[in-house]
Structure 1
Amino acid sequence: MNTKYKFSTSILALILLISSFTAQATTKSDPDPEKDKILIYVLKNILTRGHFVEKDINDNFSEHVFKSFIDGLDPNKRYFTQKDLKEFSKYKYEIDNQLLADDVSFYNLVYSHFSDKIKNAKSYYGALLAQPFDFKKKETIDIDFDKAKFAENENELINYWRKQLKLNTLSRVQEELKQQEEKVKKDKNFKNKSFRVLEKEARAEVLKNMDELYLRIEELEHEDWFSTFLNSVVGAFDPHTTYMAPRIKERFDQDMSGKLEGIGARLQKKGIYTHVFELVSGGPAWKQGELEAGDIILQVAQGDKEPLDIVGMRLDDAIKFIKGKKGTEVRLTVKKKLDGSTKIISIIRDVVQLEETFVKSSTVEKNGKKYGIIDLPRFYIDFQDKSYRDSAKDMEKEIERLKNEGVTGLIIDLRNNGGGSLKTAIEIAGLFIDKGPIVQVKYRGENPMVKNDIDPKIQWDGSVVVLVNELSASASEIFAAAMQDYRRAIIIGGNQTYGKGTVQNVLPINQFYPKYEKDLGYLKMTIQKFYRINGGSTQIEGVYSDIAIPSKYSYMKFGEKDLEGALIWDKVPQAKYLQTNSYINFSDVIYKSKERIAADPKFKLINEYAKWLKENQDDTSYSLNYKSFSKESETQEKEAKKFKTVFDYKSDLTFASPNYELPLLKKDTILADKRVAWHKNLSKDMYVSEALNVLSELKLKTPSEIVKN
């Protein structure tokens, strides 16, 4: 959740203070010691003065950073031993003092040890995977690494490695044996491989995966590891405050705006090669027509300049050379997937719209009436280009198009929508009410401010159902809460939404230290909490659905309440607002839906499935003895069979694209295929079906009835 930053007197003073800082000399072991120290200096000052929570940098803070950084580098207990921790522990309660002195000694010590451990790792897993594992031995592994202790010594550490690699191998062997059984059923002449052969092949596959993993690890630079340390520091304030290195900020902007400038191809690294994974529908590469999924990019040239060999280059760096400004030419030397030939492909870069980011809609008929379902994946906006499309503009346009098609009710699907722009959330809520407060926001130590929809225009005055789940967060919760508080819509879905009731702003760190020429990156910092217009925070609590439907997440550890260091729930005075009271039968519809859900065997099965998933989540221990492992697997498979059809559902509803989209689908076959798949999924979505039941039953009051109430 992002909003404009309010520069208080203390922040302005901070800019002046930091501008006078001079970095101290540091050791040669650090690739850029001056930059590291400046980052520490600037970040601690921004956070202590501007973060929503006033927090002392003291011994408790130090202890948090100590644990967070070590866990961040070694979450699976593969590298450090108790001996290492003992050496690190001399700084356990000194990190706060080091940070105050702009000293990175703790980081340098831990990172130095970590670098050595990474080099040793290849010899560990290589030697362990060179020999067959003993699957007759009775032993277990617990993969809840949060609870596991660090190894006492090097021998115990190697044993940790052995168990993890053994589990990976055993899982693969088990899977191959199952596949062999299926093949024998289909083909009696199929020749089974022996356990010994399968075990050898499984170890080879695990080795290949480990080599690829460490190839990617070796590509990481000092900036990546130091970012892990910085995030341990800033994360001590709250889980949503993060440091973003420059290239991470690029990805953040891309996610927020749904656009980038480049060729419109998704790339992935396989070994030393950069492969084309997918073309973005409507993008420059898709329009040019020669580049295909599966092609390997060998060289990249800017216009008529000499080509650069990108074989062996880290993916992030390769992407930098392939991306570029709109209107510029890039020439790719490509090895074609189909025939292995080498070809030079010229593409003119352009703005690429990431279609899956944007609003899309479908229509459906039920009981002789037409309804619309609008999918909003996130509350997107381009902060740099205000004229570019955003979620509020697109929602207004989409509603107008659906009105023209005669829909009588709307479902707004916010499932899995993790949030985005506060501004667009307020504007979208305003499309459904006359005018009035939408949300309250509060800075540290200040009174809450009411954020209003000031536009009296109502874009949609018909029936509304909002579909949510446990992954609906932040801006999604603002919108859902406003619709619930105004009684403008029925909220249906998971028991409660995610529970992220904080607002972050992204600050360019260089603005606080303008004399430094290199890009220092960005701080995404929690500056506000937001509150419903009824006064309660959505922090931790989220939004409780008017109609709760069982889901696979129902009993899982999930959401803000399960995050370490999450800010607390609280409340502020209620804002002045009047409920719309749009419906004659609001409570009756909710009651009937709850009755349907309670009696529906499909939802009962989902509830049982959710409990089973929770049990499996809690059971983190596995046998490494083949017979015991097989028995455990068979038991689990037997239990899983009860839930094989848990989400099997087919309605008699037919979903279709709105009329305006039909000409686009004729031109764009990729987009057309995506819409066919989406409509098919909607027809098999029992949550959408129940939302349509609710929507079809809602009865609007006449204007005179609303006035009387």
Structure 2
Amino acid sequence: MKRNYKVLTTMVIAATLFCGCTLFGNSKSFENSDKDKLLIELITYVIDQLHFSPGDVNDEFSENVYMNYIQGLDPYKRYFRKSDIEEFEKFKYELDDQLKKSEITFFNLTHERLEQRIKEAQELYPKVLNKSFDFSKDETYNSDTEKLAYAKNKRELLDRWRKQLKFSALNVFDSELSTDKAKKENDSSFELRSNKELEKAARESVEKSIADNFDNLDDLERKDWFAIYLNAIVLEFDPHTFYFTLEDKDRFDISISGKLEGIGARLQKRNSNINIVEVISGGPAWKGNEVEAGDVILKVKQTGEEAVDVVGMRLDDAVKLIKGPKGTEVELTIKKKLDGSIKQVAITRDVVELEEAYAKTSLVEKGNRKYGLINLPKFYIDFKDYGERNAATDVAKEIERLKNQGMDGLVLDLRGNGGGSLKTVVDMAGLFIKKGPVVQVKSTGERKEVLKDEDSRIQWDGPLVILVNELSASASEILAAAMQDYKRAVIIGSKQTYGKGTVQNVVDLNPLVRGNSYGDVGAMKVTTQKFYRINGGSTQLEGVKSDVVVPDRYTYIDIGEKDQDNPLPWDKIDPASYRPWNDYIDLESVVGNSIERMAKSEHFKLIDEQAKWISEQRKDTSFPLNYRQYKNELNKDKEYAKRFESLSKYNNNLRFASLPYEIAAMKKDSVLKDKRKRWHENLGRDAYIEEAINVLEDLKIDYLNRKNRKLADLNKG
């Protein structure tokens, strides 16, 4: 399985922040004068002290670290040569010994060689793109680089680059040709470009893209490459243990809290320029209305200091200058997108909330009944202040607002929700049950801990459906499993959820180092516990099995925990003591009705067929570089894809509306209005939402029958 060490997974439960000095005491001193070796000591110590199941560090461990690290450095095998790999392989079974001695000989060798090979590639690819591609020549490009051997020499490497670049150019050539033909159909005076002109334009486009890629590589410093090496080591213990640099930790905090302090703009580096690619709705830059997407930041000036030129600067370094504490001011020198004019813009930094990270709600109308839909992208939390904003309190507020609108049933959409805070999921489960256990947590060598809802209040006691898919993980699985065990909700979705049944803690490494002269040494996310359903079973690997299984585009793709490297095993413990929900008379009948509807649905049969086709397409790794053959295959795929066009045109005939407080906000925020409009349009084509509402209707009838029986029993009494 290929790993991307620079992309942080959101499938994490960050239960608490540990203080290193309290956690470890003073039993070990970290005073290595070499920062890289010091980091090796730190991560191995933390894993030894904290990891749930650290395993053996032996030759097999060494081999796996070696293989995954080399693959992570050069996944497309377009830098290293066979001779490099032969030189590296003498370390294949020595990395465990180097790790124990905090040696970094292997890293130094690979890092120096990679930098050398990257420089050679920077000189190599322009030579390929300076020559025209012959799209009539019969040859193929194979994208399955995992099975590809390393190039024996420079000539073979050059040909590998040529095929990769030719394939990219072929895609652009076809796109440009199609664009020209479309323009000609709309405007007969439009002059079509010749194939020669289109081929040249395609090469120029690819060259620009590759140049941007190398520009980003040039921005990586030794510490960034060393972080990749560290993560090749720690990921061998399990897929969720991870080393954070300062920048990575900052991004993690933003992802889990959904907010930051700064100006409220997303930035990207292109052609050495720091570009604004999005102005975040509601943020300081948005309120000031002086910058927009497409503007280029030339200089950054702090109050009382000289302006700093950021052209050519690393993106992370530029971001550090622009971000800052709430209430402070920063002045940006901007080159405007529209006319190229230069202007100075002063912005007072503030807390910026990333709206897409938070729960959003829609009222759903079907006939004369109203239902609530809450989409929760993650279980977010502010570690510094739990009461500030978190997923549980937000969902509670949305439920009250929906109840005020006369909600008859609730859909909680956890599709794609990769997890988040353990505390928020326990609190959220408490919104739907009187009191009782929610999840069991176990640490190595310790007795299990049962996390409970202690509050007897119920925020919503009516019909409840939870939507999940293969990407619903961790905290999502805790909530779905608890509601399933209590028989409180009907779970609709994939055959099983992601299957992540482990808990991670984030450990700040800085308090462990006395007299630290290196600056920030980062943090570690460490798997410290496993969680279990209240029925005793683990969600690890197996996930949560839906009550009603529906196909989706991920059905036949390997994306779960069981498909990752080094997952912890499944096991079970004794169940907790709990009493199932008893306000549904015949839950099995409701589930049976839904399963019957799904079996008859032509729409879901078509979704399943598309999912199989997508899976087969992913397995096809050989592509013709002859344009005629390429176009023939492309046309065949497009023709076959037409059978699935009705999926995007589906209409579930439900009506969706925002709640009054959000409608009022939209009058001042056109961006929010557009986002909600697009969301509602997508919901209108969502067959999963339709079935969730159907189930709510059945549950509503069942719920009312239960209430009527209770009243009848009381009257008899």
Measured against aligned partners, the alpha-carbon deviations of 1:479-521 in whole angstroms (never above 9, x if no partner) come to 0111111010001122221111111111011222233242110
CA distance in 2, matches of 1:52, 1:682: 41
CA distance in 2, matches of 1:570, 1:703: 42
* 8 Å Cα contact 2:241/2:504 also seen in 1: yes
Measured against aligned partners, the alpha-carbon deviations of 1:252-282 in whole angstroms (never above 9, x if no partner) come to 1111111111111112222121122221111
Say which SS state the counterpart of residue 646 (structure 1) adopts. Answer: helix
CA distance in 2, matches of 1:661, 1:375: 15
Comparing 698-707 with 276-285, which one deviates more in the overlay?
698-707
Say which SS state the counterpart of residue 211 (structure 1) adopts. Answer: helix
Distance 1:684 1:13, change over 3 A: closer
Deviation at 1:705, TM superposition (A): 5.0
Deviation at 1:12, TM superposition (A): 6.9
Equivalent residue number for residue 93 of structure 1: 93
Q: How does 1:519-598 map to 2 (within 5 A)?
A: 519-598=520-599
Equivalent residue number for residue 4 of structure 2: none
CA distance in 1, matches of 2:70, 2:281: 42
* 8 Å Cα contact 1:327/1:348 also seen in 2: yes
Deviation at 1:127, TM superposition (A): 0.6
Deviation at 1:7, TM superposition (A): 9.1
**Percent identity for Structure 1 against Structure 2:** 50
Equivalent residue number for residue 15 of structure 2: 3
Distance 1:705 1:265, change over 3 A: same
Measured against aligned partners, the alpha-carbon deviations of 1:274-321 in whole angstroms (never above 9, x if no partner) come to 122221111111112222222221111112422111111121111111
CA distance in 1, matches of 2:437, 2:352: 36
CA distance in 1, matches of 2:22, 2:401: 46
Equivalent residue number for residue 702 of structure 1: 707
Measured against aligned partners, the alpha-carbon deviations of 1:590-616 in whole angstroms (never above 9, x if no partner) come to 112122222111111111100100111
* Structure-2-length-normalised TM-score: 0.94
CA distance in 2, matches of 1:383, 1:5: 8
* 8 Å Cα contact 1:18/1:513 also seen in 2: no
Equivalent residue number for residue 442 of structure 1: 442
Deviation at 1:13, TM superposition (A): 8.6
CA distance in 2, matches of 1:307, 1:13: 43
Say which SS state the counterpart of residue 648 (structure 2) adopts. Answer: coil
Q: How does 1:671-682 map to 2 (within 5 A)?
A: 671-682=672-683
Q: How does 1:440-519 map to 2 (within 5 A)?
A: 440-517=440-517, 518-519=519-520
Distance 1:14 1:653, change over 3 A: closer
Deviation at 1:641, TM superposition (A): 1.9
Q: How does 1:590-609 map to 2 (within 5 A)?
A: 590-609=591-610
CA distance in 2, matches of 1:204, 1:268: 21
Measured against aligned partners, the alpha-carbon deviations of 1:437-489 in whole angstroms (never above 9, x if no partner) come to 11111112333221111111111101100011111111011001111110100
Q: How does 1:267-282 map to 2 (within 5 A)?
A: 267-282=267-282
CA distance in 2, matches of 1:136, 1:668: 52
* 8 Å Cα contact 1:15/1:513 also seen in 2: no
Is 1:265 aligned to 2:240, yes or no?
A: no
Q: Quick one: which amino acid aligns to residue 121 of structure 1? A: A
CA distance in 1, matches of 2:362, 2:69: 46
Q: Quick one: which amino acid aligns to residue 284 of structure 2? A: P
CA distance in 1, matches of 2:522, 2:135: 49
* 8 Å Cα contact 1:300/1:333 also seen in 2: yes
* 8 Å Cα contact 2:359/2:394 also seen in 1: yes
Say which SS state the counterpart of residue 526 (structure 1) adopts. Answer: strand
Equivalent residue number for residue 23 of structure 1: 32
Say which SS state the counterpart of residue 533 (structure 1) adopts. Answer: coil
Say which SS state the counterpart of residue 575 (structure 2) adopts. Answer: coil
Is 1:154 aligned to 2:137, yes or no?
A: no
Say which SS state the counterpart of residue 239 (structure 1) adopts. Answer: coil
Equivalent residue number for residue 630 of structure 1: 631
Is 1:61 aligned to 2:61, yes or no?
A: yes
CA distance in 1, matches of 2:83, 2:667: 66
Equivalent residue number for residue 424 of structure 1: 424
CA distance in 2, matches of 1:339, 1:166: 35
CA distance in 1, matches of 2:23, 2:564: 33
Comparing 476-485 with 276-285, which one deviates more in the overlay?
276-285
Equivalent residue number for residue 198 of structure 2: 198
* 8 Å Cα contact 1:581/1:706 also seen in 2: no
Q: Quick one: which amino acid aligns to residue 529 of structure 1? A: K
Comparing 510-519 with 386-395, which one deviates more in the overlay?
510-519
Deviation at 1:103, TM superposition (A): 0.5
Q: Quick one: which amino acid aligns to residue 521 of structure 1? A: G
Q: How does 1:288-327 map to 2 (within 5 A)?
A: 288-327=288-327
CA distance in 2, matches of 1:462, 1:192: 62
Say which SS state the counterpart of residue 503 (structure 1) adopts. Answer: strand
CA distance in 2, matches of 1:72, 1:18: 32
Is 1:691 aligned to 2:696, yes or no?
A: no
Is 1:616 aligned to 2:628, yes or no?
A: no
Deviation at 1:245, TM superposition (A): 0.2
CA distance in 2, matches of 1:704, 1:47: 56
Deviation at 1:395, TM superposition (A): 1.2
Quick one: higher RCO (CA 8 Å, sep 6+), 1 or 2?
A: 2
Comparing 624-633 with 309-318, which one deviates more in the overlay?
624-633
Q: Quick one: which amino acid aligns to residue 40 of structure 1? A: I
Equivalent residue number for residue 355 of structure 1: 355
Equivalent residue number for residue 28 of structure 1: none
* Structure-1-length-normalised TM-score: 0.95
Equivalent residue number for residue 376 of structure 2: 376
CA distance in 2, matches of 1:73, 1:354: 32
* 8 Å Cα contact 2:328/2:348 also seen in 1: yes
* 8 Å Cα contact 1:358/1:377 also seen in 2: yes
Q: Quick one: which amino acid aligns to residue 436 of structure 2? A: G
Deviation at 1:543, TM superposition (A): 0.9
* 8 Å Cα contact 1:409/1:464 also seen in 2: yes
Equivalent residue number for residue 402 of structure 1: 402
Deviation at 1:201, TM superposition (A): 1.3
Equivalent residue number for residue 211 of structure 2: 211
CA distance in 2, matches of 1:133, 1:361: 52
Measured against aligned partners, the alpha-carbon deviations of 1:323-375 in whole angstroms (never above 9, x if no partner) come to 11111111111122222221111111111111111112111221311111111
* 8 Å Cα contact 1:609/1:646 also seen in 2: no
CA distance in 2, matches of 1:169, 1:246: 38
* 8 Å Cα contact 2:268/2:275 also seen in 1: yes
Comparing 584-593 with 224-233, which one deviates more in the overlay?
584-593
Is 1:664 aligned to 2:691, yes or no?
A: no
Deviation at 1:408, TM superposition (A): 1.4
Deviation at 1:392, TM superposition (A): 1.0
Structure 2 regions of 5+ residues with no counterpart? 1-12
Equivalent residue number for residue 110 of structure 2: 110
CA distance in 2, matches of 1:145, 1:581: 55
Cα RMSD for the two superposed structures = 1.9
Distance 1:80 1:7, change over 3 A: same
CA distance in 2, matches of 1:398, 1:269: 38
Comparing 520-529 with 400-409, which one deviates more in the overlay?
400-409
* 8 Å Cα contact 2:31/2:514 also seen in 1: no
Deviation at 1:567, TM superposition (A): 1.5
Deviation at 1:117, TM superposition (A): 0.4
* 8 Å Cα contact 1:15/1:512 also seen in 2: no
Deviation at 1:151, TM superposition (A): 1.9
Say which SS state the counterpart of residue 408 (structure 1) adopts. Answer: coil
Equivalent residue number for residue 365 of structure 1: 365
* 8 Å Cα contact 1:438/1:532 also seen in 2: yes
CA distance in 2, matches of 1:497, 1:391: 20
Equivalent residue number for residue 339 of structure 1: 339
CA distance in 2, matches of 1:672, 1:636: 36
Is 1:82 aligned to 2:82, yes or no?
A: yes
* 8 Å Cα contact 1:14/1:45 also seen in 2: no
Equivalent residue number for residue 31 of structure 1: none
Is 1:645 aligned to 2:646, yes or no?
A: yes
Q: How does 1:132-211 map to 2 (within 5 A)?
A: 132-211=132-211
Total equivalences in the alignment: 696
Comparing 109-118 with 644-653, which one deviates more in the overlay?
644-653
Deviation at 1:571, TM superposition (A): 1.2
Deviation at 1:186, TM superposition (A): 3.4
